[in-house]
Structure 1
Amino acid sequence: MLKIDSKFIQKVQQSEELEELYPLLQNAIELEHSTIPPYLTAMFSIKPGKNLEDRKIIHSIVIEEMMHMTIAANILNALGGQPYISNSDFVPEYPGPLPMGIGNGLIVGLEKYSKACVKNVFMEIEEPENPLVFKSFSLAATQDFSTIGQFYLALQQKIEEIAPIELPGDKSKQVTSAFFDPALLFPIYTRHDAVNAINIIVEQGEGTSISPLDQDGEIAHYYRFEELFKGKKLIKDDTAPNGFSFSGPDIPFNPDDVYPLFPNTKIAMLPTGSEEWNRMKQFNTSYFSLLQGLHKTFNGDPAGLDNTIGIMYDLKLTAEKLCATPFPGKEGYTIGPSFEYITVPSEIAV
């Protein structure tokens, strides 16, 4: 389980002014973003046209993590703060703990897709305080730390406590998009809007305390990853504990249809000036441009979210080429995307 340092919960609970919540919501944006590179790396490592259901499930979770990041930015803007996306501190170092994570807790890297990665990393990131148990599978829960969901619920409670009904932020900075369901990504103008938006983040990630489904009837991230690990779809089952069981269709997986990425590849590992080095530089240039585009989107150019779709497509194409490229000097491995922060000349930045 991703252990969130208790000091962040305490800071939320001790806040008396909205301004004290600004850095904590910035932390939330950083946390939502930090899960995306590991998930994308695993997805890109799947060979084109192979392991289709695995790719589909990971892709659906990535899209929702992007939406959660946008929701967190919308809440920060609604409270009167300002998101910061395109600075070097925003990008995590992989492998390492995720933002707000306790140093001796979960270490997350960039590696190829595998059942072990799903169980030991992805399910750990998304695990709720008390995961529901279906049939024989169980993960123990303890009470001596906080989960992502608990952090969000503390934020929700504090906003309900100290925020005015009409939130003070600039309404023109609220981001929506035809790419997302308007019932899930909506402008946050009021305290009630913020409360509802946080419920969406928590339930899509962890489910509810009594169901693996979120309020939209979709399976939460934790249980979608559990589907991948078990290789079976989770379906309603009135005869099973909690009303669901992993008795649905098989999710076939062939490990031979995954590129053998060298884990946690860095551009410095590649021969400077080589074709491989240039391809990695191209990837990180697109990644920086994406972050810069998102920064502008969340800071007064909300229509820019749709304009980043083209950059995301370039990022995908370059990453897939990297994953198929043999790693120079490391026989049997291919190159994984590094998601490293670089500065880009202004004339090519978004």
Structure 2
Amino acid sequence: MLKIPVRIIEEIHNARQAADLYRHLQAAIELEHSTIPLYLTALYSIQPNSNQEVAKILFSVVREEMLHMVIAANVLNAIGGTPQVNKPDFIPTYPGHLPLVQPDLIVGLAPLSIDQITKTFMQIETSIDPEDYPAKPVPFALRATEEYQTIGDFYQAIIEKITDLHHQGALSIQRRNQVVDEKWFPRTELFEITDLDTATSALNLIIVQGEGTTTVQKTRVCSLNGKDRSQATQTFSPFDPQNQPAHYYRFAQIIKGGRLVPDPENPGGFVYDLNQPINLDSEKIYPLVENSKAEMYPEGSRARRLVDQFNYSYTSLLNGLQKTFDGYPDYLNTTIGVMFELKLQAEEMAELKIKTGTDAEKRVAPSFEYQLSRAEKAISSLI
């Protein structure tokens, strides 16, 4: 489980103006992005025409992490801030710690495996106690600070503070540099942030896609003294509003070997259906170089050229996102198109065999490093 440091939550709680929240939303953008290279590396390690259900899960999570990045950027723009994504330190160093969270989990770029799913992916996506299904978040003022331990709790704190500052008149929400693109994200997921309701709805979507949803039902209870009262019960669902399992449970399907489905006869209400198998065929995974770096490959070699080209493309993607967030929303379509270029480049790398220091045969892997092309360097030097 990723834990948010207590001081971060205290800083959000103590915010007195919109500007006090800017760096926290920027950190959210960085965190959402930091998981994408992990998931993409695993996705790129899947050999063609194999593990197709597993690949769909990975791609769906990557897509939603991209969505969460854009949502956080939209909210930051709406309250007056400016997202920053095209800078060298925006991409984490792998292996290493993720942005924002306590450094108790080291993550690295690696081919898909059961270990990578359980020890990295599910650790990133888990809530406090996924097996027992978490309860609905309690408002900040009613709970102890140390209970803020998940990314969902972090977003809940942001929601509550934005609401608080907005009601105080200390924060305004405007339709500023908003990004929407129905080709990639339906309006039910990505919409303009124009007021408090749209801001809180958008941030809540990040929570439920990552952790699941909680509904509250009130029932009438008859007491012995003749006075009726209402009793609230909470029901947790591992599914989001789009009827997709939250990220943790999507990965759990691979481990359990079956699709997660509702089951009224099961005490928890859901079961992994082995009649709808989702299995990982480890024999159909490329042995990619772990935690690849461009400097690992000799200058002038084909491997180095491919890794450099991938990094140029990935940096171009970040530059495109920056332009998108700076007020050119139509550029999102072009930017996401680069994702498909990355896939083709990664496939070419995975076909290239190399020998490692242990003489084990590996395949060349992307390194996700910030690397401007010569043309981009020339342009940036003139700015």
TM-score range, shorter chain: over 0.9
Q: For 1:68 and 1:145, how far apart are their aligned partners in 2?
A: 20
> Which residue number corresponds to residue 143 of structure 2?
none
Name the one with the larger strand percent. 2
**1:145 Cα deviation after fit:** 5.8
**1:231 Cα deviation after fit:** 1.3
Q: For 1:345 and 1:200, how far apart are their aligned partners in 2?
A: 40
Amino acid at match of 2:123: E
**1:130 Cα deviation after fit:** 2.7
Residue aligned with 1:333, SS: strand
Residue aligned with 2:273, SS: coil
Q: For 1:48 and 1:309, how far apart are their aligned partners in 2?
A: 22
Amino acid at match of 2:251: F
Amino acid at match of 2:151: I
Q: For 2:34 and 2:248, how far apart are their aligned partners in 1?
A: 16
Residue aligned with 1:247, SS: strand
Amino acid at match of 2:210: G
Q: For 1:200 and 1:144, how far apart are their aligned partners in 2?
A: 21
Number of residues of Structure 1 aligned to a counterpart in Structure 2: 341
Q: For 1:307 and 1:166, how far apart are their aligned partners in 2?
A: 36
Spell out the pairing of 1:264-303 with structure 2 (5 A cutoff): 264-303=291-330
- Is the Cα contact below 8 Å between 2:174 and 2:193 reproduced in 1? no
Residue aligned with 1:173, SS: coil
**1:119 Cα deviation after fit:** 0.7
- Is the Cα contact below 8 Å between 2:77 and 2:176 reproduced in 1? no
> Which residue number corresponds to residue 77 of structure 2?
77
Pick aligned residue for 1:151 from 139, 154, 177: 154
Q: For 1:82 and 1:301, how far apart are their aligned partners in 2?
A: 13
- Is the Cα contact below 8 Å between 1:95 and 1:110 reproduced in 2? yes
Q: For 1:206 and 1:157, how far apart are their aligned partners in 2?
A: 18
- Is the Cα contact below 8 Å between 2:173 and 2:195 reproduced in 1? no
> Which residue number corresponds to residue 25 of structure 1?
25
**1:233 Cα deviation after fit:** 0.8
Cα displacement string for residues 199-222 of structure 1 (whole angstroms, at most 9, x for unaligned residues):
100000110241101123221111
1:160 and 2:163 are equivalent in the alignment = yes
- Is the Cα contact below 8 Å between 1:166 and 1:191 reproduced in 2? no
Pick aligned residue for 1:331 from 348, 356, 360: 360
Amino acid at match of 1:44: Y
Q: For 1:144 and 1:262, how far apart are their aligned partners in 2?
A: 38
1:113 and 2:112 are equivalent in the alignment = yes
Q: For 2:28 and 2:171, how far apart are their aligned partners in 1?
A: 19
Residue aligned with 1:234, SS: strand
**1:181 Cα deviation after fit:** 1.1
> Which residue number corresponds to residue 139 of structure 1?
none
> Which residue number corresponds to residue 315 of structure 1?
342
Q: For 1:206 and 1:181, how far apart are their aligned partners in 2?
A: 20
**1:31 Cα deviation after fit:** 0.3
**1:346 Cα deviation after fit:** 4.5
Q: For 1:79 and 1:213, how far apart are their aligned partners in 2?
A: 30
| Uncovered stretches (5+) of structure 1, i.e. residues with no partner | 135-142
Amino acid at match of 2:162: I
Q: Identity of paired residues, percent?
A: 43
| Uncovered stretches (5+) of structure 2, i.e. residues with no partner | 134-145, 215-235
Pick aligned residue for 1:304 from 323, 331, 351: 331
**1:298 Cα deviation after fit:** 0.5
TM-score, L = length of structure 1? 0.93
**1:150 Cα deviation after fit:** 0.5
Spell out the pairing of 1:210-289 with structure 2 (5 A cutoff): 210-248=236-274, 249-289=276-316
Q: For 2:68 and 2:191, how far apart are their aligned partners in 1?
A: 12
Q: For 2:271 and 2:92, how far apart are their aligned partners in 1?
A: 36
Spell out the pairing of 1:188-227 with structure 2 (5 A cutoff): 188-209=193-214, 210-227=236-253
**1:169 Cα deviation after fit:** 5.5
- Is the Cα contact below 8 Å between 2:41 and 2:111 reproduced in 1? yes
Q: Label 1:194 to 1:170 Cα distance change in 2 as closer, same or farther (>3 A).
A: closer
Amino acid at match of 1:332: E
Amino acid at match of 2:177: K
Cα displacement string for residues 30-49 of structure 1 (whole angstroms, at most 9, x for unaligned residues):
00000100000000000011
Residue aligned with 2:203, SS: helix
> Which residue number corresponds to residue 225 of structure 2?
none
Cα displacement string for residues 269-295 of structure 1 (whole angstroms, at most 9, x for unaligned residues):
111111110000000000000000001
Cα displacement string for residues 131-153 of structure 1 (whole angstroms, at most 9, x for unaligned residues):
1449xxxxxxxx66611111000
Residue aligned with 2:237, SS: coil
Q: For 1:39 and 1:258, how far apart are their aligned partners in 2?
A: 14
Moved more, 69-78 or 249-258: 249-258
RMSD, aligned α-carbons: 2.0
1:182 and 2:211 are equivalent in the alignment = no
Q: Label 1:289 to 1:47 Cα distance change in 2 as closer, same or farther (>3 A).
A: same
- Is the Cα contact below 8 Å between 1:286 and 1:311 reproduced in 2? yes
